[in-house]
Amino acid sequence: MMPTLLHLISTRTPRTFTHQTVLVMGLALLLLLTACGGGDTAVAAIALTVEATAVPPTAAPTIPPTATQPPPTPTQELAPPPTFTIVPTETPTSEPTITPTATATAVPPQNMVNGLTINQFLLMDEDVQAHVREIYTLGQELGRNPRTFSKVGDSVVLTPHYLARFDSEQYKLGIYANLQTTIDQFAGSFSRFGQVAHVGLSSRTLYELGWADEELCLADENAVDCEIRLNNPSIFLIRLGTNDQVPAAYETNMRKLIEHLLEEGIIPVLGTKADRFDGEANTNNLILHELAAEYRIPLWDFDLVAQSLPDRGLSGDNIHLTMSGANDYTKADVFEKGYPISDLTALMVLDAIRQTVTAVTPPATP
């Protein structure tokens, strides 16, 4: 039996059995020999056989990488790409150039009404101011009174709510205290109605006979001439147009009045109205804008100011203005009423004209 087993082991190629397999087979052979009484001879034979057949372990062959199967690369957790913060480039160290803005110079509150500046509702640029001084100079040569003005208008003007309170104690100027000089300058004119303020007055009826006071005016004297003779004003503060329904006639009649006053050395101040009684197109107010620009005379744009008032400052009849108990400009609610705001802006216009002509020295009055 032993030769047969040895023959089997010796005839196997080294690559047939592994080292562990040979050892197992040798142990099995030892057991058989011992059982058969082989003794030392059997042990020597097994040792010789194991040594002869033992094959040292060989390393596993390394398979070279192919083009379709690249060698694995170590797995490396990539850091997220850095986030770049754009840093503004440094500006030159030279001093920055300061550009003036419209709000650089604050408008004093005494030059504003309901957010509007006097330059917005009084259109009187430098050219108009120069012409105003020319008119005033002529008026002084003709003996006009620099301390009087005349109010021209219809029932909106013929009321104690229109300017008359500046001739009483029913006013507080508040931040407009600088206007007191103008109130003193024209004292007496604010409460005077004269010959050119009538209910239902229009630009046409100004020159019609019968409108002037028969007791104060001459028989053949129209209301305008009578007022000039009686009051001798330096300014006509005009608000007409509600009762003028024909724009072409209105323009013609207003031209006649303006040219008449210019010849007499009286400064015409055209005032727009808040109502639209002549039509929603607001044609008569637009005509006043054109005439003021053409004749280079002041325009008091109360229509613009009225837009800052509830219901344009108009009462229920949409013609006359809303009223207050007094012209107290220290109270906020007064700035929501038509007549107090009309009075305030008219006073500011008169003040601006007074300051415009102060460079002209009037002749001494006898």
CB distance 269 to 181 below 8 Å: no
Residue 69 is given by DSSP the state: S
**What percentage of the chain exceeds 70 in pLDDT?**
69
- The pLDDT of residue 69 is 43
The mean pLDDT of 113-130, rounded to a whole number, is: 98
CB distance 152 to 312 below 8 Å: no
pLDDT band at 184 (very low <50, low <70, confident <90, very high): very high
Residue 4 has pLDDT above 80, yes or no: no
254-297 pLDDT tens trace? 999 999 999 999 999 999 999 999 889 999 999 999 999 999 99
Chain-wide mean pLDDT for the chain? 81
Q: For the chain, what are the domain ranges?
A: 2-53, 111-356
| CA 329 – CA 334 distance, rounded (Å) | 6
- The pLDDT of residue 56 is 43
DSSP string, 197-228: B-TT--TTGGGSTTSS-TTTS-TT--HHHHHH
C-beta pairs of 325-330 under 8 Å, 24+ apart in sequence? 325/170, 326/165, 326/170, 326/171, 326/172, 327/165, 327/166, 327/170, 327/171, 327/172, 328/171, 328/172, 328/174, 329/171, 329/172, 329/173, 329/174, 329/175, 329/176, 330/172, 330/174
| CA 267 – CA 196 distance, rounded (Å) | 15
What is each CA distance from 112 to 20, 197, 352, in whole angstroms? 113, 29, 13
277: CB partners within 8 A, 6+ apart? 242, 243, 318, 319
Residue 362 has pLDDT above 80, yes or no: no
Residue 31 has pLDDT above 80, yes or no: no
Q: Which of 43-57, 84-98, 352-366 has the lowest mean pLDDT?
A: 43-57
- For residue 253, the surrounding DSSP H or E stretch is helix 247-263
The better pLDDT of the pair 72, 342 is held by 342
- The pLDDT of residue 333 is 96
Residue 314 is given by DSSP the state: B
Residue 176 has pLDDT above 50, yes or no: yes
The better pLDDT of the pair 89, 356 is held by 356
Q: List 237's β-bridge partners, or say none.
A: 151, 269
- The pLDDT of residue 106 is 86
Q: What are phi and psi of 197, to 5 degrees?
A: -130, 110
Residue 3 has pLDDT above 90, yes or no: no
Residue 45 has pLDDT above 50, yes or no: no
- The pLDDT of residue 89 is 45
What is each CA distance from 227 to 108, 216, 237, in whole angstroms? 37, 10, 13
**What percentage of the chain exceeds 90 in pLDDT?**
67
- The pLDDT of residue 359 is 73
Architecture in CATH for domain 111-356: 3-Layer(aba) Sandwich (3.40)
| CA 81 – CA 327 distance, rounded (Å) | 73
Residue 305 has pLDDT above 70, yes or no: yes
- CA atoms within 13 A of residue 92's CA, in its CB half-sphere: 4
Q: What is the 3-state secondary structure (H, E, C) of 265-311?
A: CCEEEEECCCCCCCCCCCHHHHHHHHHHHHHCCCEECHHHHHCCCHH
The mean pLDDT of 153-164, rounded to a whole number, is: 97
The mean pLDDT of 63-90, rounded to a whole number, is: 43
